[in-house]
Amino acid sequence: MPAPFLPTTREEMDALGWDQADVVFVSGDAYVDHPSFAAAILGRHLEAHGFRVAILPQPDWRSADPWRALGRPRLFYAVSAGNMDSMINHYTANKKRRNDDAYSPGGRIGLRPDRPTPIYAQRCREAFSGVPVVIGGVEASLRRIAHYDYWSDTVRPSMLVPSKADLLVYGMGERPIVEIARRLDAGEPITALRDLRGVAYLLGRTESLPDHRFEDAACDQRTIELPSFEAVTADNDAFVRMTALHHHETNPLNARRVTQAHGDRLMVQNPPSLPMSEAEMDAAYDLPYTRRQHPRYEDPVPAHTMIKDSVTIMRGCFGGCTFCSITMHQGRIIQSRSERSILEEVHHIAEDPEFKGTISDIGGPTANMYKMRCTRPEIEAKCRRLSCIHPKICPLLGTDHKPTVDLLDKARATPGVRRVHVASGIRMDLANRSPEYVDTLVRHHVGGHLKVAPEHTSDTVLSAMKKPPQAEFEAFEENFAEASRAAGKKQYLVPYFIASHPGSTTDEMIELAVFLKARGYRPRQVQDFIPAPMDIATCMYHTGRDPFSGTHVETPRRLRDRQVQRALLQYFRPENWFTVRRALLDRGRADLIGDGPTCLIPARAPAEAIAARRRNAAEDAAPVHAEDAGTSPTVGYRPGRKGARRRRRRPGDGSSR
- Length in residues, the chain: 657
Residue 622: what pLDDT? Answer: 62
Residues in contact with 335: Cβ distance below 8 Å, sequence separation at least 6, in sequence order: 275, 276, 277, 278, 281, 314, 315, 316
Instruction: For residue range 91-100, list pLDDT tens digits in order.
Output: 999 999 999 9
Indicate whether 587 belongs to any domain: no
3-state secondary structure of 234: helix
Residue pLDDT, tens place only, 518-552: 999 999 888 899 999 999 999 999 999 999 999 99
Is position 374 within any domain?
yes
Residue 244 lies in a domain: no
> Which residue among 396, 415, 441 closes a domain?
441
Residue-level pLDDT at 654: 36
Inform me whether the pLDDT recorded for 629 exceeds 50. no
Position 615 scores a pLDDT of 84
Q: Would you say residue 647 has pLDDT above 60?
A: no
User: Could you tell me the pLDDT band of residue 638, with boundaries at 50, 70 and 90?
Assistant: very low
Q: Which residue, 170, 205, 240, sits at the end of a domain?
A: 205
Q: List the one residue out of 164, 162, 157 whose CA is nearest residue 125.
A: 164
Q: How far apart are CA 150 and CA 538, in angstroms?
A: 8
Cα separation values, 309 from 34, 41, 228, 446, 523, Å:
10, 16, 46, 16, 27
Asked if omega into 391 is within 30° of 0 (cis), the reply is yes
Strand 292-293 to strand 32-33: parallel, antiparallel, or no bridges (unpaired)?
antiparallel
Range 358-371 burial, b when 16+ CB lie within 10 A, else e:
ebbbbbbbbbbbbb
Per-residue pLDDT tens digits for 198-255: 999 999 999 999 988 887 777 788 999 999 999 999 999 999 999 999 999 999 999 9
> What's residue 518's pLDDT?
94
pLDDT at 447: 84
pLDDT of residue 639: 41
What whole-number distance in Å separates Cα of residue 236 and Cα of residue 146? 13
pLDDT, tens digit (0-9, with 9 covering 90-100), for 291-323: 999 999 999 999 999 999 999 999 999 999 999
- pLDDT (mean) for 584-610: 94
Residue 50 structural domain: 10-205
- The arithmetic mean of pLDDT across residues 131-136, rounded, is 98
Q: Is the pLDDT of residue 70 over 50?
A: yes
Q: Is 65 in the same domain as 180?
A: yes
How does pLDDT run across 317-334, given as a tens digit for each residue? 999 999 999 988 999 999
Quote the number of domains for the chain.
3
Task: Show which of 205, 227, 260 is a domain's final residue.
Answer: 205
Verify that 22 and 169 share a domain, yes or no: yes
- Across the range 592-617, mean pLDDT stands at 90
Do 195 and 323 lie in one domain? The reply is: no
Q: Is 23 in the same domain as 144?
A: yes
For residues 464-473, average pLDDT: 95
Is residue 195 domain-shared with residue 321, that is, in the same domain? no
Q: Are 332 and 317 in contact (CB under 8 A)?
A: yes
pLDDT at 636: 38
Give Cα 496 distance to the centre of its chain.
Answer: 16
User: Is residue 287, in this structure, part of any structural domain at all?
Assistant: no
Q: How confident is the model at residue 152 (pLDDT cuts 50, 70, 90)?
A: very high
Query: Domain for residue 242, yes or no?
Result: no
Q: What is the pLDDT of residue 649?
A: 39
- 387 belongs to a structural domain: yes
CATH code for the domain in which residue 399 is found: 3.30.750.210
Distance of CA 272 to the CA centre of its chain: 18
Does residue 513 form part of some domain?
Answer: no
The answer to whether residue 498 sits within a structural domain is no
Q: What is the pLDDT, as a whole number, of residue 620?
A: 64
246 near 200, Cβ under 8 Å? no
> 462 pLDDT band (50/70/90 cuts)?
very high
Could you report the per-residue pLDDT of 495-525, keeping only the tens digit for each?
A: 999 999 999 999 999 999 999 999 999 998 8
pTM for the predicted model, two decimal places: 0.91
Compute the distance between CA of residue 158 and CA of residue 263 in angstroms, rounded to an integer.
12
pLDDT of residue 623: 62
Q: What is the mean pLDDT of the chain?
A: 92
User: What's residue 3's pLDDT?
Assistant: 78
181 shares its domain with 312: no
